[in-house]
Structure 1
Amino acid sequence: MISILLAGAISMVLTLLGTRWAISILKRRGYGQEIRDDGPTSHHTKRGTPTMGGTVFITATIIGYFAAKILTQRPPSASAVLLLFLFAGMGAVGFLDDFIKIVRQRSLGLRSKAKLAGQTIVAVAFAVLALQFPDERGQRPASPFISFIRDIEWLHLVPVLVVVWILLLLAGMSNGVNLADGLDGLATGASMMVFGAYTLICVWQSNQSCKTMAEARCYEVRDPLDLAVVAAALTGALFGFLWWNASPAKIFMGDTGSLSLGGAVAGFAVLTRTELLVLVLGGLFVIITASVILQVSYFKLTKRLYGVGRRIFRIAPLQHHFEMLGWEQVNVVIRFWIISGLCVAMGLGLFYAEWVAG
């Protein structure tokens, strides 16, 4: 438990101080955000705001985790190292995307195929490695079963399909957080809630682990307590980053941050056997992603049927639709945070109810 507190505190302090330093450096070098021309006009004032802030909380999370391990003299676990690899790897793909935007001064960075290829390489490497490293009980970081709150016994997959399933989950969630990162503090606050929830889930799974108790309700998760340390480090880092990212944002996380956060959310789902529960915990990201899918699908369908494409929303993703309706940006963010909080509360409720029901 001391490791959890240390990781969260160290990461938060590092991000609070490091982000201020990063803002100064990025401003001097002219590493500012490019704004899409078809979005809300109010966003044009944000052009030039420092971006790639995700590098700060990625660095702070990794330092916070390993500092906690050193101070408590406990070795890192395979699950935690794999999660940090996924977190940093997705962030590296996002960093390339952000860097191209800045150098070429455009709102689009990596081409969609190149971006997807980078995400695929990182995700496949994570999936393959997560099926290795059995512990003394033969438990591996990832499971060959699709899971909700535990492994679903009749949804057993062969290794190739496990990799495909993890790839789909990672791609969906990383792009979901990426789509949510359109308003000051929105993705930061929502992600912070999800990682806070995973801190609680991992601590609970550790207390009820099959390694220490032989009950039908115990959890077959390889390294739950160490995953709680990573979750706490992420939560603390995002607390620190939100200080500077809240409206009016002094810095944006960029794709560096959003892709890494989405990858980490999906990584926790895989490593804690909550792959379907994460759709509830990260419900806000699912809703925002669904709004884009619906908008594009409806536009293409109506264009094919009537020759003119029609839209469900004024603009997608969903948060910008409400901006176009005249909502203040701060109101949209706070109300979407409330939705995210409700989703997290529902997910935690389902998790606990399943344990109580046995």
Structure 2
Amino acid sequence: MLYHLFDWLENFDVPGARLAQYVSFRAALSLIFALLISTVFGNKIIRKLQQLQIGETIRELGLEGQFQKRGTPTMGGIIIIISILIPALLFARLDNVYIWLMIGTTLFLGALGFLDDYIKVFKKNKAGLPGKYKVFAQVALGLVMGLVLYLSPAVVIKENIEVRHKGTIENVHFSESETKSTKTTIPFVKNNNFDYAEVIPLKGEAKTIGGWIVFVLMTIFIVTMTSNCVNLTDGLDGLASGSSAIVGVVLGIFAYVSSHIGMASYLNIMFIPGAEELTVFAMAFVGATLGFLWNNAYPAQVFMGDTGSLTLGGIIAVFAIIIRKELLLPILCGVFIAEGLSVIIQVFYFKYTKHRYGTGKRIFKMTPLHHHFQKPGNAGIDAKLQHPLAPIPESKITIRFWLIGLLLAVITIATLKMR
């Protein structure tokens, strides 16, 4: 919004109006504003939640200090959503299709999470919105996002083309025309590109259409998986918000280099016109999650609830798909995926052992994974699977997961040069 205002003011030679042309300047303002909104106005929202008695319902899980959280306001994801949307609307170009995709994702999943929290808090239904409805909504979002990326004429790339001499890359240039493409970035291979159409054993137009079908299906899977994994990670004070901030920084870097023709050439990745505006959104995302930590860090004064966690996961997924870095998410979002996989493995193994031996067994003391380290173990026959026997303090678990997230973030960035 302000970009267009300053663009108009530049016609009258207003001092400083030209600064709005620089993405780096607008991204910095976006981060600062998001940080201020989530900290300053976040306190007012927390007090309002307390007045409405929107407190978290605590189940008996046998975890140390869990009942100290009883009555802590939930639905704090509202703070994150507001802190993302206001800076994005103020500082991003509103004629950019990618910005509207991100705004749509934020609003849709924010509303879905809010409905889930509303049922839990006001309807006193601990289960919240039935899982099948949440999955259906996530699948619908993935379908819409995939189709928009397929159908919109504004969604194009310039493919990176290697110039080789005796097997050595001497230069990387880009095709002159902007094209629709089903290609994405893949780590640890020479060309850094992977075309979804390659998995279709057809030729010509049928192969192209098949590639887009696979692309849309992948979009649905990634949006659903990532959103649910972040949702499962939101179990310790500051864990989901801090981990999301780390991911947001990396995605912002990727958006910037993907839209900078010189950097894209150096890194040998496709050039995505218009993706630079996503840097502004990414910095709003980082500012909002870091600002939320002001009140969410241990001991938390507010929980984000599904209003926040479903939204954060969806934003990460859609953002990565837009900049064609979704196949890097297993590395970048390793903490989130480990949390989700721990639940899947636990349920599968329990059902398998119950069917085969008549008694269900567990691999983890409790899932998601962070609760395994938080819950005391019982020495005995299954002592090996109970490690560590002594519970680890919540704050230490959170910081260790952050450190792992930082390490994975560095590795993810490094993969662009590891071929």
Q: If the length of structure 1 is used for normalisation, what is the TM-score?
A: 0.91
Counterpart position of 1:78: 97
Indicate conservation of the 8 Å contact 2:199/2:211, yes or no: no
Counterpart position of 1:159: 212
Counterpart position of 2:251: 198
Distance across 1 between alignment mates of 2:266 and 2:54: 55
Distance across 2 between alignment mates of 1:214 and 1:275: 20
Letter of the aligned partner of 1:340 in structure 2? Answer: G
> What do the CA deviations read for 1:236-285 (whole angstroms, capped 9, x no partner)?
11111110100000001100110111001111210111111011111101
> What do the CA deviations read for 1:90-120 (whole angstroms, capped 9, x no partner)?
1211111001000122432101111112222
**Quick check: which has more Rg, 1 or 2?**
2
Indicate conservation of the 8 Å contact 1:7/1:230, yes or no: yes
Question: 1:156-235 maps to which residues of 2 (within 5 A)?
Answer: 157-208=210-261, 217-235=268-286
1:52 equivalenced with 2:75 (yes/no): yes
Counterpart position of 1:107: 126
Deviation at residue 218 of structure 1 after TM alignment: 4.8
Letter of the aligned partner of 2:131 in structure 1? Answer: S
Higher mean displacement: 308-317 or 54-63:
54-63
Counterpart position of 2:137: 118
Higher mean displacement: 48-57 or 245-254:
48-57
Q: 1:238 aligns with which of 289, 300, 309?
A: 289
Distance across 2 between alignment mates of 1:186 and 1:216: 32
Indicate conservation of the 8 Å contact 2:259/2:273, yes or no: no
Higher RCO structure, 1 or 2 (CA under 8 Å, sep 6+): 1
% identity of equivalent residues: 33
Structure 1's unaligned 5+ residue stretches are none
- RMSD of aligned residue pairs (Cα, Å): 2.1
Which has more helix, going by share of residues?
A: 1
Task: Report the 3-state secondary structure (helix = DSSP H, G, I; strand = E; otherwise coil) of the residue aligned with 1:131.
Answer: helix
Deviation at residue 162 of structure 1 after TM alignment: 2.3
1:148 equivalenced with 2:186 (yes/no): yes
Indicate conservation of the 8 Å contact 1:39/1:320, yes or no: no
Distance across 2 between alignment mates of 1:181 and 1:21: 22
Question: Relative to structure 1, is the Cα distance of residues 306 and 265 closer, same or farther in structure 2, using a 3 angstrom cutoff?
Answer: same
Indicate conservation of the 8 Å contact 1:139/1:220, yes or no: no
Distance across 2 between alignment mates of 1:217 and 1:324: 46
Deviation at residue 40 of structure 1 after TM alignment: 2.0
> What do the CA deviations read for 1:104-147 (whole angstroms, capped 9, x no partner)?
2243210111111222222222221122222385445xx53454
Counterpart position of 1:328: 393
1:32 equivalenced with 2:55 (yes/no): yes
Question: Relative to structure 1, is the Cα distance of residues 288 and 67 closer, same or farther in structure 2, using a 3 angstrom cutoff?
Answer: same
Distance across 1 between alignment mates of 2:216 and 2:296: 35
Question: Relative to structure 1, is the Cα distance of residues 139 and 96 closer, same or farther in structure 2, using a 3 angstrom cutoff?
Answer: farther
Indicate conservation of the 8 Å contact 2:249/2:286, yes or no: yes
Structure 2's unaligned 5+ residue stretches are 1-23, 157-176, 201-209, 377-390
Indicate conservation of the 8 Å contact 2:185/2:269, yes or no: no
Deviation at residue 77 of structure 1 after TM alignment: 0.9
Indicate conservation of the 8 Å contact 1:221/1:271, yes or no: no
Q: If the length of structure 2 is used for normalisation, what is the TM-score?
A: 0.78
Task: Report the 3-state secondary structure (helix = DSSP H, G, I; strand = E; otherwise coil) of the residue aligned with 1:277.
Answer: helix
Higher mean displacement: 77-86 or 168-177:
77-86
1:293 equivalenced with 2:319 (yes/no): no
Question: Relative to structure 1, is the Cα distance of residues 19 and 216 closer, same or farther in structure 2, using a 3 angstrom cutoff?
Answer: closer
**Number of aligned pairs?**
346
Task: Report the 3-state secondary structure (helix = DSSP H, G, I; strand = E; otherwise coil) of the residue aligned with 1:192.
Answer: helix
> What do the CA deviations read for 1:72-105 (whole angstroms, capped 9, x no partner)?
xx44410121022112211211111001000122
